[in-house]
Each structure stands twice: as structure tokens, then as C-alpha cells.
Amino acid sequence: MWTKERIVLPLIENLHEIEVYKKNGGYQNAKKAFALHPDEVIDTVKKSGLRGRGGAAFSAGLKWSFMPKSTDKPKYLCINGDESEPGSFKDRQIFEYNPHQLIEGVLIACHAIGANIAYVYIRGEYHKWIKLFQKALDDAYAAGYVGAGMKNTFGTDFKVEIYVHKGAGAYICGEESSLMNSIEGHRGYPRVKPPFPAQKGLWGCPTTINNVETLANVPVIIDKGWEWFSSIGSPKHPGTILYGVSGHVNKPGVYELPSGTLLTDIIYNYAGGVPGDKKIKCVIPGGSSMPPLRGDSLEGIKMDADSLKEAGSSIGTAGIMVMDEDTDLIAVLARITAFYYHESCGQCTPCREGTGWMLKILKRMARGNATKKDLDLLVSVANNIDGNTICALGEAAAWPVKFMVQRFRDEFESKMKDEIEIAVPNKVHSMRDTVNPIASITI
């Protein structure tokens, strides 16, 4: 069923139906994994080199190995299907076309870490995909692959319950600790780490959080072995990746290709190139949080975590956004910043306030009422967010701004004025008695 090009989304008609999935060897790998000791499963996944597909590209097997072996508390697995990163639309393909492979991956992961309960967190806007996945899950329950029926089907005492938790429109809930708070019924505020989820996660119990695409890879690794998997694509980031291509391309969509595929290959050969054969001005290679790349520097960039790091960006969720030569980058950056301003949870001051200030400056730039000094001001605000927040949303908001201005400074500067008029002068400052500030305050 699986080839080295097609692991997560094999080309089999109606694979989302449980009967078709079963006919193609479905749920046999869960059985195979249950016969192994959990440590063997973790070891296999570790050796395969499978890295998380949710953004951080952390070794999946290593993450599992952090779970305590002996504990008197229940253990949990959370599956992150929040998929709210702009430019990212891969998990919905798995919910729609191959949900059983995800469920099987969940079963194997639960066995490896010793969890009996798994929560699949799906973003609230995905009504259709929640229904599709729930249908697949119901079928799996009815066929005895999940829940109480597992004893008969697999001949094991191990039991897993899988529940779907529907999000409600908060980007931040894709952050793992925020996701757990959301499942617990709180506002989706990220938590301070440490303690890490493997020590204190859901309800203070050991928890592992994996991305949907990551877990969908797991049954294949069990089936074909770690050597097979690790030989695909880039050795340090093996396997296939679901690349989501959007923006100014002729054939936008999700393309499953081996990791390390050339970025230009994806854009020109698979996504059909840029409409009107225009030049590319800018590409964001991993969802809107990742540093943008210049269109004239794309040659030779491979799409895997290490190569992109070298190129000055990051793989993120592999959501590739392509912008042609006519794109107004100030407008794009203002829109990206508006997104982070809207989605900042408000917990940390640098992010809550900083995103708002960046947006104000960018809106002024878009109106053509800014000077070159404002560019430095903008970068300074971004620098004060970067690294000063509890979760990575701070970096996600700061990076596009910092790197866009750095890499496209010529374009930004060409639209700046030498002097600007401020409609309402800052009255507070002009009224302030600078010699004796306190004395000037009258009530």
C-alpha cells in the first residue's frame, strides 16, 4: 500500500472507508506493535528518524521516551489537529482521505507511551472534517479496533479510548500547553515550561502531544521498518512531507513529496509555476510564522528542517506561500501582523502590546505616512517581543517582521518618506514639564 513517495496519502480510492483500509493491510500494524514491548516501538520510531510535522521538527521517538515508565497517574496522548497556521492545510487531507491511518497511529503511540486515553483536538472551523473523522472513529469503534472491543480484535488487555475535542477558533490552541488548557476547559493560555507535558500535562498527568501528520506516519514505520523509512528523503529529516502550496501559483494544493525536495521544484514542477510567468518576489516556506525568503535566493534550497535553517528560515508546517513580483509586501506584512495581534492570547505584555504597536506602524507605512526611522522602530518592537514571551507566538509574530524588513529593506525604504506629518501631535509629551515631571500632573 505504501511507496516511498506516498506514505501519508496513498493513491487508493476510498481509503477513508474502513473496509478499504482493512483490505490494504489496515490495523495489522497496530496488532504487530501490540506484540512488541513499548520500548521496542519507541526505539523503532527513534531509529526511523521521524520528526514532528507540527513545526518544531522534534524527534517523535525521543518525545515518547520522555514519558515516565512508572507512574500512578493516568497518561494521555493529545493529537494536535488545530491546524491554524496561515498557509497550512495538510491535516484536513488526512482527516478526509486517510483517517484510519491516523487512528492506527494513535493506537500505536498510546501503546508506546502507555496511554489509555487520547484526545484529538481539531479546530472548530473544520466542521466537515470533524464529522468525517468522527465517522471513521465510530467505524473503528464498531469494528473493535478502538475501545472495549480491542480485547477481542487484538487479543490484548490494552485498551484505548479516543475522543474528539472541537476547538473554537483560537490559533494559540495549536501551541501544545495551550491546547491542553483548552481541553481542560480553560481559556487557551500557554503554560510556562518546565514542567514539560511529559511530567505535568493534562490535569497534571504525563502527556504527549503529537501532530496529526506525525502520527499518520507511524503505522508505516512499523510495517516497513525503520531502515526503509529512514532511507527516504533527507537523512536527517527522513520521510515524506505534506507540502501545502498556496498564493501565486497555478496549481495550489497539498503535495506529498520526499523531504528535501527542492523548493523551486515544488513551486515550478508540482504547483505549476507562477501565473503569467511572473517572477517570484517572496516565499514563506513554512507557514506565516516563519522567516520569508527572497525570490532571487530560492535556487538550491531543499525543503527539510536543516537545509531551511541554513537558508535562514524554518520548515514549520511546510505551508509554502508564494508571492509574485507585483505583491505589495507592506500590505502582506501588515496582514500577517494583524493576524498575530488578533490571536495573541494577552498573557505576556511584549506580545499583547508589541503586536498592536507593530500593526499601527505597519498600517501607517501602508498609508505611505512613514519614514526610514519607522523601519528601525518596527524592528526594535519586534526584537523586544522575540524571546520575551511564554510561548512561541511571540517569535511567530516577530520573525516575519524582522526578516521581512531585513531581507527586503530596499523595497521598504523605497516607500518611506523623508518626513511625515503627524495629524495629532503627542499632547501628553508636549505638555510635560521635563524638569519636574511630577509637578506638572494636575488632577
Partner 1 sequence: MEFHFSEENLSKLSGVFSKYPNKKAAVMPVLYIAQEQNGYISNEVISEVSKVCEITEEEVMGVVTFYTMYHQTKPGKYHIQVCTNVSCMLRDGFEIYDAVKEKLGISNHGVTGDGLFSLEEVECMGSCGTAPMIAVNEDFHENLTKELTLQILDNLKQV
Instruction: Pick the closer one to partner 1 by CB: 2 or 171.
Output: 171
Based on the shown chain and the rule CB under 8 A, indicate whether residue 188 belongs to the binding site for partner 1: yes
Please tell me whether residue 288 binds partner 1 under the rule CB under 8 A: yes
Please report whether residue 336 would count as binding partner 1 according to CB under 8 A.
Answer: yes
For partner 1, give the closer residue by CB, 220 or 365. Answer: 365
Q: Report d(CA 331, CA 325) in Å as an integer.
A: 14
Give least dist CB 48 to partner 1, A: 28
For residue 112, what are the CA distances in angstroms to 148, 203, 221?
A: 19, 21, 13
Q: How far is the CB of 44 from partner 1 (least distance, A)?
A: 31
Q: CA-CA-CA-CA torsion for 191, 197, 199, 204, nearest 10 degrees?
A: 60
> Under rule CB under 8 A, which residues in 106-145 are in contact with partner 1?
123-128
Show Cβ contacts of residue 319 under 8 Å, excluding neighbours closer than 6 positions. Answer: 85, 86, 87, 88, 89, 90, 244, 246, 284, 286, 287, 288
Q: Identify which range of 41-49, 257-265, 334-342, 348-356 contacts partner 1 by CB under 8 A.
A: 334-342
φ, ψ at 221 (rounded to 5°): -65, -40
**Which part of the chain contacts partner 1 (CB under 8 A), choosing from 15-23, 211-219, 315-323, 361-369?**
315-323
Binding status of residue 339 toward partner 1 by CB under 8 A: yes
CB of 294 to partner 1, least distance (A): 17
For residue 309, the number of C-alpha atoms closer than 13 Å in the C-beta half-sphere is 8
Q: What are phi and psi of 350, to 5 degrees?
A: -55, -40
Contact between 256 and partner 1 per CB under 8 A? no
Restricted to residues 150-179, the positions that interact with partner 1 (CB under 8 A) are: 163, 165-171
Residues in Cβ contact with 322 at an 8 Å cutoff, skipping those fewer than 6 apart: 245, 246, 247, 248, 249, 267, 271, 274, 280, 283
> According to CB under 8 A, which residues from 363 to 392 bind partner 1?
none
Q: How far is the CB of 405 from partner 1 (least distance, A)?
A: 17
**What letter would DSSP give residue 437?**
G
Q: Which residues lie across from 210 on neighbouring strands?
A: 79
In angstroms, give the least distance from the CB of 89 to partner 1.
4
- The amino acid present at 161, given as its one-letter code, is E
Which among 13-21, 58-66, 332-340, 382-390 is the span making contact with partner 1, rule CB under 8 A?
332-340
Give the residue carrying C-alpha cell 506525525: 214
Cα of 247 vs its chain's centroid, Å = 18
> Which residues here bind partner 1, judged by CB under 8 A?
83-89, 91-92, 123-128, 163, 165-171, 182-188, 203, 244-248, 252-254, 284, 288, 319, 321, 323, 327, 331-332, 335-336, 339, 342-343, 345
